[in-house]
Amino acid sequence: MRQSQLFIPTLREVPADADVKSHQLLLRAGFIRQNAAGIYSFLPLGKKVLHKIENIVREEMNRAGSQEMMMPALQLAELWQESGRWYSYGPELMRLKDRHERDFALGATHEEVITSIVRDEVKSYKKLPLNLYQIQTKFRDEKRPRFGLLRGREFIMKDAYSFHDKQESLDETYETMKDAYSAIFSRCGLNFRAVLADSGAIGGKDNHEFMVLSDIGEDLIAYSTESDFAANIEMAPVLLAEQHSSEERLELEKVETKQAKSIEEVSKFLNISSDKIIKSLLYIADEHPVLVLVRGDHEVNEIKLKNELSATDVVLATEEEAQKWLNTVPGSIGPVSVTSDVKIIADQAVPFMVNAVCGANEAGFHYVNVNPKRDFEYSQTADLRFVVQGDLSPDGKGNIVFAKGIEVGHVFKLGKVYSEPMKAAYLDENGKNQIMSMGCYGIGVSRTLAAVAEENNDDKGLIWPLSITPFDVHLIAVNSKNAEQAALSDELYDQMKNDGFDCLYDDRPERAGVKFADSDLIGLPIRVMVGKRAGEGIVEVKIRKSGESFEVPVSELISFIRQEWDKLSN
């Protein structure tokens, strides 16, 4: 493609409201333009990258046995009423009426549509499992669209849905989809983790988010330095590092601690480290008082607490409730001699505490030399705390570090969350009517493009991985008014095209500096410059990622480019 023909409106200055690198660079390099908040056009270069990412997605989904189809963006409200989501979703779901005043949703996702298609067409276990996907525009009226394509209101998603008779079949497809996702994000050159995620609103047994590690990520993940373990902070399990202390158990003693209430204050007042203090928090779980005990240097993870208590609502007790159930105020709450009306649950690390400190359930007083079991009972122990950096990884390999992540994919085991209300049923091998199980699998395709741009750039511009670069080679006639350089450039352009390179030829009558700056901005992997030594049959080749440049005789150019291409591929 000749750059003098290409529609590529580059910008010199950084757009004001673009506050992450990928957003700034995709705008400046003429890949996208904003039409409205969270709504973008893909200009030719952006469209080429999008197309390549979609094809990688397509190849891996087809290889994994999913069949491509296309569903409408306009969805009958009746379908969302069947699943109940017409009423449960708020302004984020874009709705409209057609000319006959009929209600529609603009597709934010397609569980209802796909389930309505499959329930009408699939009646026998012989037709299962079935795995269908589409690559399609989605609409979600985000309250605060931001970071360009990373959080838009109209975006491209690959969404796949699988249908099963048996749970094992769903489990198998789920693993196959996870492997396909790993292949897709690896081929896009992304540093990602498959993160165990909280089941969240849409139910289903477990689910994984595919997170690109990035400083601007909105999610916090815990991952192991020595294995592929990774989990959302809320979900990350804690491996109990049992520490048996030979310390002699001392006599329980009540001491005055005056105004010292918080862990820090008690730690300072009694001059003991926080990991010797039992942090006691009174919660109300579905109306029942529960005293939760964790070590003083740990934090209660309320999602784990809720799951452990299988409670729907878990909230910290008010002062009045503390007064009512423990006859004291927060800051002096403890587990010693507590009424049996209050259930006591302890984090798994608490039973290993020796000669600890805890509130005496009397304002201004604490107990010292408190020993679990001897001085207080608890009905159960569980993993109730947030993971912290440095914890042993739950798989025993390496230690936990935290990182921010950009969610580019999400795979779910839905179970019967949609097939039940929408009656997607089949006859099993015994002729018995059964409800199908489902899985769903999403990739933010336009978000993936932005994530690649976010993680592959430098102060001069974008640096595209070979797999999705908009063009392979940037051929530049340094001075296109110079006949010798123009002639050789034209010749090389034809030769590279014949040799199968998708070449962008900068034939514009611009100063060299402008051409080089634009080339750095656009970020093609290999640049060939036809300059002063054209007469000697020598051109310069520059590798965008490493910045290395080489003087190469024209006769060796193609083989040299292939060699550099292979080096960049590994």
Q: Does residue 319 belong to the site contacting ligand 9G3 (CB under 6 A)?
A: no
x/- contact string, 377-416, with ligand 9G3 (CB under 6 A)? ---------------------------------x-x----
x/- contact string, 37-76, with ligand 9G3 (CB under 6 A)? ----------------------------------------
**8 A C-beta contact, residue 222 and residue 405:** no
Would you state the structure tokens that stand for residue 232, as one six-digit string? Answer: 């959302």
C-beta closer to ligand 9G3: residue 183 or 252 = 183
- CA–CA dist 473, 568 (Å, integer): 13
Region from 143-151, 280-288, 439-447, 451-459 binding ligand 9G3, contact rule CB under 6 A: 439-447
Instruction: Candidates 54, 112, 154, 159: give the one binding ligand 9G3 (CB under 6 A).
Output: 159
Q: Does residue 565 belong to the site contacting ligand 9G3 (CB under 6 A)?
A: no
- CA–CA dist 62, 60 (Å, integer): 5
- How does 514-546 read in b/e, with b if 16+ C-beta sit within 10 Å? ebbbbbbbbbbbbbbbbbebbeeeebbbbbbee
Looking at beta carbons, which residue is closest to ligand 9G3? Answer: 442
Residue with tokens 């209101």: 153
Within 8 A by CB and 6+ apart from 489, the residues are 475, 476, 477, 480, 505, 507, 530
Residues 199 to 218 in contact with ligand 9G3, rule: CB under 6 A: 202
C-beta closer to ligand 9G3: residue 154 or 564 = 154
Region from 22-30, 88-96, 372-380, 513-521 binding ligand 9G3, contact rule CB under 6 A: 88-96
Q: Does residue 484 belong to the site contacting ligand 9G3 (CB under 6 A)?
A: no
C-beta closer to ligand 9G3: residue 219 or 428 = 219
| Long-range contacts from 114-121, C-beta under 8 angstroms, 24+ separation | 114/71, 114/161, 115/83, 115/161, 115/418, 115/419, 115/422, 115/424, 115/438, 116/79, 116/82, 116/422, 117/71, 118/161, 118/163, 118/424, 118/436, 119/419, 119/422, 119/423, 119/424, 119/425
Q: Does residue 108 belong to the site contacting ligand 9G3 (CB under 6 A)?
A: yes
In this structure, what are the phi and psi dihedrals at residue 256, rounded to the nearest 5 degrees? Answer: -80, 130
C-beta closer to ligand 9G3: residue 276 or 413 = 413
What is the nearest approach in angstroms of ligand 9G3 to the Cβ of residue 234?
17
Instruction: Candidates 2, 11, 89, 428: give the one binding ligand 9G3 (CB under 6 A).
Output: 89
Region from 16-24, 162-170, 222-230, 438-446 binding ligand 9G3, contact rule CB under 6 A: 438-446
Residues in the chain: 570
C-beta closer to ligand 9G3: residue 150 or 488 = 150
Region from 70-78, 212-220, 436-444, 546-554 binding ligand 9G3, contact rule CB under 6 A: 436-444
57 residue type, one letter: V
Region from 9-17, 87-95, 345-353, 531-539 binding ligand 9G3, contact rule CB under 6 A: 87-95
213 residue type, one letter: L
**8 A C-beta contact, residue 1 and residue 503:** yes
- CA–CA dist 334, 282 (Å, integer): 9
What is the nearest approach in angstroms of ligand 9G3 to the Cβ of residue 301?
23
C-beta closer to ligand 9G3: residue 139 or 283 = 139
C-beta closer to ligand 9G3: residue 304 or 410 = 410
Neighbour-count burial of 338, counting CB atoms closer than 10 A to its CB (0-12 exposed, 13-18 middle, 19+ buried): buried
Q: Does residue 92 belong to the site contacting ligand 9G3 (CB under 6 A)?
A: yes
C-beta closer to ligand 9G3: residue 426 or 441 = 441
Q: Does residue 240 belong to the site contacting ligand 9G3 (CB under 6 A)?
A: no
Q: DSSP E strands: which ranges in 243-364?
A: 253-256, 278-285, 288-295, 314-316, 343-347, 356-362
Q: Does residue 440 belong to the site contacting ligand 9G3 (CB under 6 A)?
A: yes
Q: Does residue 109 belong to the site contacting ligand 9G3 (CB under 6 A)?
A: yes
What is the nearest approach in angstroms of ligand 9G3 to the Cβ of residue 69?
14
Residues 111 to 150 in contact with ligand 9G3, rule: CB under 6 A: 140
What is the nearest approach in angstroms of ligand 9G3 to the Cβ of residue 157?
7
C-beta closer to ligand 9G3: residue 114 or 468 = 114
Q: Does residue 93 belong to the site contacting ligand 9G3 (CB under 6 A)?
A: yes
Neighbour-count burial of 166, counting CB atoms closer than 10 A to its CB (0-12 exposed, 13-18 middle, 19+ buried): middle
Tell me which residue of 125, 400, 114, 398 sits closest to 236, measured CA to CA: 400
Would you state the structure tokens that stand for residue 95, as one six-digit string? Answer: 């709705």
Within 8 A by CB and 6+ apart from 474, the residues are 503, 504, 506, 519, 522, 524, 526, 527, 528
The residues binding ligand 9G3 (CB under 6 A) are: 89, 92-93, 108-109, 140, 159, 202, 410, 412, 440-442
